[in-house]
Structure 1
Amino acid sequence: MELLRSYNPILVGTIPIDIHVSSSDLDIVCEVYDFDAFVAYTSAAFQCEERYQHTVHSDMLNPYAVVNFRFQGWEIEIFAQPIPTTRQNGYRHMMVEHRILQLLGSDGYDAIRQLKENGYKTEPAFAELLQLEGNPYEGLLELADWDEEQLSQFIIRFRSCD
């Protein structure tokens, strides 16, 4: 994280909200506007690490870069976009997932971990648990925009249907 500090890194995903399983990786989001400089920097910093690779997707509407490598037994993925890290989808997903888990309590944590152990990715696991229709990534982003009252009411209704 220290090496990435100029890119406003945030560790997102399952580990910060305590739903990781043995196959979980470390996901880091970064705010990047110059992808050439970012790739040059991360290549210099991490190219000697096991399984290092990077890709840049330069679609003008949604440019992003992904850097992957293995470090001290962890698979690491760095996802970079020209968007403040707290507005990136990975961060927004994690925040709403945390809010949902707080409302569901320990049973929710256990259920999500079990779905993940059974092969579900995180967002599809939440969609399965909450019976969300459609694209799980978009569905969670919709929930992320809800205030606490709306989310609480949804969870109450969800629980009453169990």
Structure 2
Amino acid sequence: MTRADYRAAIAQSGVLARLAAFDPHVAGTPPLALDLPESDIDILCYAPDLEAFAVEVQTAFEAEAGFALRRWREGSAVIATFKALGWDFEIFAQQIPVAQQQGWRHFVVERRLLAVGGAPFHAAVMQLRRDGLKTEPAFAAAQRLPGNPYAAVLALAGAEPAALIAAGFAIHGSA
């Protein structure tokens, strides 16, 4: 089955409008053009009151196919999932602003790395994803970053593009 472009799916589903009170941000692989057929659309939200958020999300999305709602890490987040327009959607909310959430911080770093590395780096990360790596491990492998790939990618959060280039930003594929 062919699915709509992720932007069309977001617009047609009305998900951002229904979550407007929670500062929704689209993250993950589709906006980075690194999505695979099994990729989902991630929506990150700020919910100072997670219980109120859970009630609002339940009301707004419970009629969607495959709707599920769960608490994560002893109540530190609420996650809702559903299917619409050929996509799986995942809504993730925490009691901290989106800009401070690790998922958003990873997304910003990855977007910056793709901008600095251009098409060759994008191709290398995409091939690593096709080879089976998750997003952060693919970015870390493409840069040969040591240690925990999630921490290694996040450690680049403060690096400006010029600093990345000066530090010898390199592209390593899955060869």
**Residues 1:117 and 2:148 aligned together:** no
**Residues 1:158 and 2:173 aligned together:** no
Q: Distance in 1 between matches of 2:165 and 2:69?
A: 40
Counterparts in 2 of 1:46 and 1:120: CA distance versus 1, 3 Å: same
Q: Percent identity?
A: 35
Give the one of 134, 156, 160 matched to 2:147. 134
Q: Distance in 1 between matches of 2:83 and 2:159?
A: 36
Q: Which residue of 1 aligns with 2:89?
A: 76
Give the one of 69, 85, 88 matched to 2:101. 88
Q: Distance in 1 between matches of 2:123 and 2:161?
A: 22
Gaps of 5+ in 1: none
Using the size of structure 2 for normalisation, the TM-score is 0.83
- Report how many residues are paired: 157
Structure 1 residue 87: Cα displacement: 1.7
**Residues 1:53 and 2:68 aligned together:** yes
Structure 1 residue 19: Cα displacement: 1.8
**Amino acid corresponding to residue 79 of structure 2 in structure 1:** V
Q: Cα deviation per residue 1:82-118 (whole Å; 9 max; x = unaligned)?
A: 1111221111111111111111111111111111122
**Amino acid corresponding to residue 117 of structure 1 in structure 2:** R
Structure 1 residue 27: Cα displacement: 0.4
Gaps of 5+ in 2: 1-15
Tell me, yes or no, if the aligned pair for 1:35 and 1:56 is still in contact at 8 Å: no
Q: Which residue of 1 aligns with 2:56?
A: 41
Superposed structure 1 runs of 4+ greater than 4 Å apart:
none
Q: Distance in 1 between matches of 2:169 and 2:43?
A: 33
Counterparts in 2 of 1:37 and 1:157: CA distance versus 1, 3 Å: closer
Give the one of 49, 61, 64 matched to 2:77. 64
